[in-house]
């Protein structure tokens, strides 16, 4: 948590806090865990904030975290609803940053309800059949929504090559018993293993904690560290 964030990550964290996308307090999650922080990607609705997040996604794709080469894909898929503007803005930003490589890349998203008239179908945007699909979404906590998206893409004949999220909350899977003290493996780790695909994030919980150190919000940091200790993965 003490390593310095790269400039684009630090800039993204700053935009998320200043834009009120990343909030501190007490929040009940989809998993029923009570979290001292919440990241609402639906709040990137102002042009400057949308640019901040699409730039950070695009740079994460190009730099592929810290390692190797950029992830290769044909289509960026944004699960409805929150993923739709994120995927669209990201493919546009990639084409700005590297037109030669990304100008002909596509976006696509799912309908929440299948359309049975007109052009019909469950997908809006580029057809997925036989294409390499990169999922761009907001946050991973338990990974449930990501599994659903993978299922939908595969049903359409798409090949899921990776998942990119804005925030990896670094949490364990919920225990079947519902007991929070049960050791469980990491939500993201299980997706990586089960599907054999990379799961990238702009920021992790450690990045947020590290990025906030020395900014005078010691109580928030302490509560995030306690939360992390409670819900961290066993592996």
**200 contributes a contact to ligand OMP by CB under 6 A:** no
- Decide whether 40 or 122 has the Cβ nearer to ligand OMP: 40
On the CB side of 123, CA atoms within 13 Å amount to 20
Residues in the interface with ligand OMP (CB under 6 A) total 15
Q: Which residues ranging from 29 to 58 are in contact with ligand OMP (CB under 6 A)?
A: 29-31, 38-40
Q: Does 152 participate in catalysis according to the annotation?
A: no
Q: Does 117 participate in catalysis according to the annotation?
A: yes
**60 contributes a contact to ligand OMP by CB under 6 A:** no
**Which x/- pattern over 131-170 shows residues binding ligand OMP (rule: CB under 6 A)?**
-------xxxxxxxxx------------------------
**Token pair 């947020």 is at which residue?**
208
Count CB neighbours of 121 within 10 A: 13
**109 contributes a contact to ligand OMP by CB under 6 A:** no
**180 contributes a contact to ligand OMP by CB under 6 A:** no
Phi and psi torsions of 168, nearest 5°: -100, 110
Q: Which of 30, 115, 213, 222 is catalytic?
A: 115
- Decide whether 58 or 203 has the Cβ nearer to ligand OMP: 203
**Neighbouring residues of 113: CB distance < 8 A, sequence distance ≥ 6:** none
> Where does 131-204 have alpha helices with state H?
144-155, 187-195
- Decide whether 30 or 213 has the Cβ nearer to ligand OMP: 30
Q: Residue 205 belongs to what H/E stretch?
A: helix 205-212
**Count of helix runs (H) and strand runs (E) in the chain:** 8, 8
Shortest Cβ 156–ligand OMP spacing (Å): 19
Shortest Cβ 41–ligand OMP spacing (Å): 6
> How far apart are alpha carbons 216 and 7 in whole angstroms?
20
**Token pair 């309908």 is at which residue?**
111
Looking at the annotation, which residues are catalytic?
115, 117
Binding site for ligand OMP (CB under 6 A): 29-31, 38-40, 138-146
């Amino acid at each position: 948590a003490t390593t310095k964030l790269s400039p684009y990550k630090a800039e993204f964290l700053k935009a998320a806090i200043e834009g009120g996308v990343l909030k501190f307090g007490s929040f009940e999650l989809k998993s029923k865990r009570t979290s001292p922080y919440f990241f609402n990607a639906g709040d990137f609705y102002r042009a400057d904030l949308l640019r901040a997040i699409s730039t950070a996604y695009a740079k994460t794709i190009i730099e592929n975290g810290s390692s190797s080469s950029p992830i290769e894909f044909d289509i960026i898929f944004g699960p409805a609803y929150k993923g739709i503007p994120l995927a669209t803005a990201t493919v546009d930003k990639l084409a700005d940053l590297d037109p030669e490589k990304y100008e002909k890349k596509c976006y696509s998203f799912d309908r929440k309800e299948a359309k049975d008239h007109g052009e019909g179908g469950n997908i809006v945007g580029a057809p997925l059949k036989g294409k390499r699909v990169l999922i761009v979404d907001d946050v991973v906590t338990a990974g449930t929504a990501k599994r659903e998206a993978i299922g939908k893409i595969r049903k359409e004949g798409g090949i899921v090559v990776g998942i990119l999220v804005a925030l990896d909350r670094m949490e364990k899977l919920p225990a079947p018993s519902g007991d929070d003290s049960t050791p469980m493996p990491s939500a993201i780790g299980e997706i990586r293993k089960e599907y054999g695909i990379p799961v990238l994030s702009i920021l992790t919980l450690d990045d947020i904690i590290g990025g906030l150190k020395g900014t005078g919000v010691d109580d928030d940091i302490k509560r995030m560290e306690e939360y992390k200790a409670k819900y961290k993965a066993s592996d």
